[in-house]
Structure 1
Amino acid sequence: MCGGRGTRLAAPVEKPLVEVCGRPMFDRIVEALRASRVETVHAVTSPHTPETRTRASELGVHCIDAPGAGYVSDLGFALDRVSRPVVTVVADLPLLTPDHVDAVIEAAEGRSLTACVPVGQKRTLGSSLDDSLVFDYRGRAVCPTGLGVVGPDTEADPNSEHTEADPNSEHTEADPNSEHTEPEDTDSTVYLTTDFRLALNVNRPRDIVLAEDRCE
């Protein structure tokens, strides 16, 4: 997802093209997705990000030109044009790795899932936080990372769904730093991780510094 205005970042280039450790965030996301189990990568651009669209074409990434009416609206527009299940990821998650993507795919088992981090971790790191996205998960304040899976039977953005899944299904934790939900009664689930790399979304200038301090 790379069609937002990125006004909070106040950068001289479009937000997905902001460099972290010498490379545009968009390039880093594409590389991580291509090295993962994802079969096809689409860039969901908008009238707000024409240069990102150009960069996507240079990298051989197919573009879906959304209206630019906001994240949820543009995601819905894109979902109507791809097959599901589909991995969704925002372009401001520059420390994303193929292992993160594969872990979420494995945990989702084809259903909808959203990767979340504890709010306390973002605050400890000093990473920007959108309070409107914070919700309670088992007595703990958490927020979406921007990485998720939309399953075949759901219409909603997994990053705005916070219910849990079928009690008869089995789930595997991806790594010792991640806690997958114990499923309950719907097809949407939360994947809770304490991996700091998923807690760093670049929304403000300070976030660039934090991410660059942690580049591998």
Structure 2
Amino acid sequence: MNALLMCGGRGTRLDSATEKPLHEVGRRPMLDRVRTALRRAERVSRVHLVTAPGAPRTARHAAETADPHETVIDAAGEGYVADLGRALDDPRVSTPALTVAADLPLLAADAVDDICNHYAALDPEPTATPSLTVCVPTALKDALGVSADTTRAHGGRELAPTGVNVVGRVADDEGGGDDPPSGDPDAGESDTTPEYDERLYVTHDARLAVNVNRLADAAVAERLGAEGR
């Protein structure tokens, strides 16, 4: 499966001296930590680094350090959903595609493979390739002490998006088209159409619950990373 690593955000709420994807956790930029997880994942065949003008240092870092299994896609910086749509339109990207935010410094290859395996086991009906939104219980974020700015109610529980999703191909009367989910913890819920087949995957994996949006979140990531979680 292709992976789209969304790394075009400046991250003003983080109040960091550098752009959000380059903020260091465990002395390594978060972007590079996520890249390592994706490279090591058995179910990921290629990683596309989606950059934007609002984070020029990140774009330069991505271009200078891309390995043979990575592609840099320059988006317009018109917002997470628009940039994701532009990346999905790139002929080098195939769907279904895994989308990952760059603010998950604790992400690991086995967690990525678990998500891909869960997606592969989905019932394809009613659409040929549904999309998957990965969430954690908001209570888990509260227990870890990290922020949860966007939540949604489902099945009597309050859930928070992780910033990891799988975008499928929507089957419609025209023969199909890509309809990306929001996927961004900062973007709010997506406006879906009746043709959009979204499935939810709820995980209790703490490594997927730590999105670094603020310095306090980064401190939690440092602590949990030191503990090997």
**TM tier, smaller:** 0.7 to 0.9
**Are 2:211 and 1:201 equivalent residues in the alignment?**
yes
Is residue 201 of structure 2 the alignment partner of residue 191 of structure 1? yes
The AA in structure 2 aligned to 1:210 is V
Partners of 2:202 and 2:191 in 1: CA distance:
11
Residue 53 in 1 paired to residue 59 in 2? yes
Q: Which moved more, 1:49-58 or 1:37-46?
A: 49-58
Contact 2:8 2:59 in 1 (8 A): no
Confirm whether residue 121 of structure 1 aligns to residue 121 of structure 2: no
Cα distance in 2 between the residues matched to 1:55 and 1:158: 25
1:169-201 C-alpha deviation (Å, 9 max, x unpaired): xxxxxxxxxxxxxxxx97321110111111100
- Secondary structure (helix, strand or coil) at the match of 1:8 reads helix
| Alignment deviations for residues 94-144 of structure 1 (CA, whole Å, 9 cap, x no partner) | 0001111111111112531111001111112110111xx311111000011
Q: Which blocks of at least 5 consecutive residues in structure 2 are unaligned?
A: 1-5, 121-128, 171-177, 184-188
Q: Which residue of 1 aligns with 2:110?
A: 99
Note if 1:79 corresponds to 2:88.
yes
The residue aligned with 2:173 is none
Give the aligned length. Answer: 193
Is the 8 Å Cα contact of residues 114 and 161 (structure 1) preserved in structure 2? no
RMSD over aligned CA atoms reads: 1.9
Q: Secondary structure at the match of 1:41?
A: strand
Partner of 2:46: 40
Q: Say whether residues 1:63 and 2:72 are aligned partners.
A: yes
**Are the equivalent residues in 2 in contact too, given 1:111–1:187 (CA < 8 A)?**
yes
- Indicate the residue corresponding to 1:13 in structure 2: 18
Task: Report the alpha carbon displacement of residue 57 of structure 1 after superposing the two structures with TM.
Answer: 2.0
Structure 2 CA distance for aligned equivalents of residues 97 and 161 of structure 1: 26
Residues 186, 55 of structure 1: CA spacing in aligned structure 2 closer, same or farther, 3 A cutoff? closer
Q: Deviations over 1:57-78 (max 9, x none)?
A: 2322321111111111111111
Correspondence for 1:137: 154
Map 1:15-30 → 2, pairs under 5 A: 15-30=20-35
Give the Cα–Cα distance (whole angstroms) in 1 for the partners of residues 116 and 191 of structure 2: 17
1:101–1:53: structure 2 CA closer, same or farther, 3 Å change rule?
Answer: same
Alignment partner of 2:37: what SS? Answer: helix
Structure 2: how far apart are the matches of 1:17 and 1:126? 22
Partner of 1:179: none
TM-score (norm 1): 0.84
Separation of aligned partners in 2, 1:121 and 1:92: 17
Question: Does the aligned pair in 2 maintain the 1:47–1:68 contact within 8 Å?
Answer: yes
User: Which letter does structure 2 place at the counterpart of 1:112?
Assistant: S
